[in-house]
């Protein structure tokens, strides 16, 4: 039988060869398809998709091909069909930023009709934002999707990031402001509201800024409140009240020259008794007593409806006279005026002091006895009540010690008034004269003397006086705290300082200042974890204290908790305090350090985890910028 196998096999091979398509140039097909895409300048995305499928058949594991196929299908109005190749592209190249962004935006498009896609869209957009932190569209869609799935915090972060990328995009800042207010995220709210008002704000943006400013005042964030009111005043320069609010912040932060400037501006727009009173207050703190006296005299002759101003004007006018040595004028004023009940105790003190300064001892004793009876809780009269009883009887007053006792009381009272207006030199002058007349009978006077010495830089003298107070009342919590803190600041006897402050804290466990001192002592001794816990408690007790926030930040930074330390320093800077400029500088240096360290930690693109495959859709993305 003839052998026919080879001819048959040859025929089969020939047929197979005839059926197989000739080898195609993948690069050429890709270029051709790209030219057909809309984003490539073409107009036939369906044909582009067909060409990409031919390429995908030859190179099925190419993320590039899968991405372009998905793009073409999306352009051809087939977003559902575009989803599978988009997911495939991300699976093949998890670190491909373009693929990740495309999938996220595609899921955003699909979620508009199918809300079930929203959770996946959020996760993919978050991953895309990590890879493309400068892409505004990714952040915008992430903000929308996060709001849709009720991820309010994630939405806030997205809108804030978009606002920083595009400062003029008001929608981002508006969304951020609304979300931040609901979340009680102070920093986010402040940033967004300020941004909304940076250029030419709409009325609703101005209302948001005014509300923020008032909340800042309520919270004690005076530096930030001043910033907000100044911005409002820039947009509404004819509103007297805004300038007045700026002045009030400056008064509260002891910047009296600056306060006078804006008070004058406010008064030029609309004079009021309150503006006049606050101007007099600024003048008093600047030592311009005659000017303050003249203004207050005019104010006292007017009808003032606001009780606080009417009360304050009487007391401040009496102080202005007393500090100028005008005792007779003060007595005449008290006789002629109808003294307001809320300041009657103060006026009784000033009357007693004026009479002593004029050596009218009989009248002074009568005024003091009346004060002891009518105002027993006023410190001046409490001290007077502690004098030997015969000192307050005129028949014994010829004795030197009785007269000296009354003069000492007067001088210590004057020292308290000088300290009220931060005239520490005058305060010390009175205290030194008082000390020559007799021993100090009240530890509070020693504490005032110590503070005055500290304010003028005489720390050795301040320490000496505190030691004297410690000897007089060793268990006094205020003495313990002040002495311990001064030892800390001078880097002296840290163990003794810590023991003193610990005793004070035990006696006053809810005093935020003392708990802050305790935490600072622990920090100085190197007990960092303990210090952090104590300072966190101090921050709970005194949330509006810049000193507490500064100390807590120090403890955190020392432990390498840089981000949280920076946050605490940022909160400290919401207030006004002497070392504010220095802390601003240190915070700037810390942020540079953090940025450098973060740059070293950035993983390579192919190391980005896949949120589709291995992430929990309900989990927060802690690495989200």
pLDDT tens readout for residues 131-166? 999 999 999 999 999 999 999 999 999 999 999 999
| CA–CA separation, 176 and 509 (whole Å) | 39
| CA–CA separation, 262 and 233 (whole Å) | 11
Which band of pLDDT confidence, cut at 50, 70 and 90, is reported for residue 575? confident
| CA–CA separation, 439 and 493 (whole Å) | 29
Q: What is the mean pLDDT of the chain?
A: 90
Distances (CA, A) of 18 to 9, 14, 21, 26: 14, 6, 8, 21
Say if residues 469 and 443 touch (Cβ distance below 8 Å).
yes
The owner of tokens 């010690």 is: 401
Name which of 315-329, 467-481, 484-498 the model is least confident about.
484-498
Q: Does domain 289-441 have CATH number 1.25.40?
A: yes
Q: Evaluate if residue 443 carries a pLDDT over 50.
A: yes
- Percent of the chain whose predicted confidence (pLDDT) is above 90: 80
Task: Using a cut of 0.85, tell me whether the model's pTM lies above it.
Answer: no
Q: Evaluate if residue 584 carries a pLDDT over 50.
A: yes
Q: In 507-606, which ranges are E strands?
A: none
Element containing residue 407 per DSSP (H, E):
helix 400-420
Express each pLDDT in 207-247 by its tens digit: 999 999 999 998 888 899 999 999 999 999 999 999 999 99
Q: How many residues would you count in the chain?
A: 625
Number of Cα atoms under 13 Å in the Cβ half of residue 278: 29
pLDDT at 601: 65
Arch. (CATH architecture) of 32-93: Alpha Horseshoe (1.25)
Number of Cα atoms under 13 Å in the Cβ half of residue 477: 16
pLDDT at 623: 35
Express each pLDDT in 378-401 by its tens digit: 999 999 998 888 888 877 666 788
| CA–CA separation, 392 and 299 (whole Å) | 37
* Of 387, 369, 374, 446, residue with least CA distance to 415: 446
Q: Evaluate if residue 478 carries a pLDDT over 60.
A: yes
| CA–CA separation, 371 and 317 (whole Å) | 20
Residue 167 has which token pair? Answer: 């400062």
Query: 3-state class of 132 per DSSP?
Result: coil
Residue ranges of domains in the chain: 32-93, 289-441, 512-606
* Of 620, 603, 566, residue with least CA distance to 588: 566
Angle at which helices 118-131 and 97-111 cross, to 10°: 150
Q: Evaluate if residue 92 carries a pLDDT over 80.
A: yes
* Of 451, 446, 497, residue with least CA distance to 472: 446
| CA–CA separation, 312 and 331 (whole Å) | 18
- As a dihedral over the C-alpha atoms of residue 569, residue 574, residue 579, residue 584, rounded to 10 degrees, the angle is 60
Say if residues 520 and 539 touch (Cβ distance below 8 Å).
no
| CA–CA separation, 346 and 352 (whole Å) | 10
Number of Cα atoms under 13 Å in the Cβ half of residue 433: 16
| CA–CA separation, 143 and 148 (whole Å) | 9
Residue 246 has which token pair? Answer: 């700026």
Q: Does domain 512-606 have CATH number 1.25.40.10?
A: yes
């Amino acid at each position: 039988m003839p052998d026919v196998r080879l001819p048959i096999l040859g025929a089969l091979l020939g047929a197979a060869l005839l059926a197989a398509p000739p080898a195609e140039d993948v690069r050429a097909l890709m270029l051709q398809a790209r030219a057909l895409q809309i984003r490539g300048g073409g107009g036939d995305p369906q044909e582009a998709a067909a060409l990409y499928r031919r390429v995908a058949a030859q190179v099925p594991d190419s993320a590039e091909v899968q991405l372009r196929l998905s793009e073409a299908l999306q352009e051809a109005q087939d977003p559902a069909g575009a989803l599978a190749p988009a997911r495939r592209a991300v699976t093949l190249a998890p670190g491909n930023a373009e693929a990740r962004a495309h999938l996220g935006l595609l899921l955003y498009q699909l979620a508009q009709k199918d809300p079930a896609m929203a959770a996946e869209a959020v996760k993919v957009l978050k991953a895309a934002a990590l890879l493309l932190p400068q892409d505004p569209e990714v952040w915008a869609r992430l903000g929308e999707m996060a709001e849709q799935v009720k991820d309010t915090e994630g939405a806030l972060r997205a809108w804030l990031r978009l606002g920083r990328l595009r400062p003029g995009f008001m929608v981002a800042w508006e969304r951020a402001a609304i979300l931040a207010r609901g979340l009680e995220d102070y920093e986010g709210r402040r940033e967004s509201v300020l941004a909304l008002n940076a250029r030419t704000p709409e009325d609703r943006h101005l209302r948001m800024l005014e509300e923020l400013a008032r909340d800042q005042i309520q919270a004690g964030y005076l530096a930030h409140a001043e910033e907000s009111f100044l911005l409002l005043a820039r947009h509404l320069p004819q509103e007297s009240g805004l300038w007045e609010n700026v002045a009030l912040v400056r008064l509260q932060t002891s910047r009296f020259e600056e306060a006078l400037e804006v008070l004058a501006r406010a008064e030029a727009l609309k004079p009021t008794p309150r503006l006049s009173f606050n101007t007099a207050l600024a003048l008093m703190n600047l030592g311009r007593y005659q000017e303050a006296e003249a203004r207050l005299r005019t104010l006292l002759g007017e009808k003032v409806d606001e009780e606080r101003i009417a009360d304050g004007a009487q007391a401040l006018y009496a102080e202005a006279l007393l500090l100028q040595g005008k005792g007779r004028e003060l007595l005449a004023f008290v006789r002629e005026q109808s003294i307001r009940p809320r300041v009657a105790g103060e006026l009784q003190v000033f009357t007693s002091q004026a009479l002593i300064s004029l050596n009218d001892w009989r009248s002074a004793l009568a005024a003091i006895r009346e004060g002891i009876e009518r105002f027993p809780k006023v410190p001046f009269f409490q001290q007077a009540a502690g004098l030997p009883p015969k000192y307050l009887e005129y028949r014994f007053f010829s004795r030197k010690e009785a007269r000296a006792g009354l003069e000492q009381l007067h001088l210590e009272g004057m020292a308290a008034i000088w300290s009220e207006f931060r005239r520490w030199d005058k305060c010390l002058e009175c205290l030194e004269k008082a000390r020559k007349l007799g021993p100090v009978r009240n530890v509070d006077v020693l504490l005032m003397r110590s503070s005055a010495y500290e304010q003028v830089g005489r720390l050795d003298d301040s320490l000496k006086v505190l030691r004297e107070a410690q000897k007089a009342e060793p268990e006094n919590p205020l003495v313990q705290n002040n002495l311990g803190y001064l030892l800390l600041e001078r880097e002296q006897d840290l163990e003794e300082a810590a023991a003193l402050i610990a005793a004070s804290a035990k006696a006053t466990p809810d005093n935020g200042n003392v708990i802050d001192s305790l935490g600072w002592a622990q920090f100085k001794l190197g007990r960092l974890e303990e210090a952090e816990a104590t300072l966190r408690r101090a921050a709970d007790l005194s949330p509006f204290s810049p000193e507490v926030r500064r100390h807590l930040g120090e403890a955190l930074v020392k432990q390498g908790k840089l981000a949280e330390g920076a946050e605490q320093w940022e909160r400290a800077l919401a207030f006004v305090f002497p070392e504010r400029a220095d802390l601003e500088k240190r915070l700037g240096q810390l942020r540079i350090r953090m940025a450098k360290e973060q740059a070293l930690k950035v993983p390579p693109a192919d190391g980005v985890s896949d949120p589709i495959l291995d992430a929990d859709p309900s989990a927060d993305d802690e690495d989200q910028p």
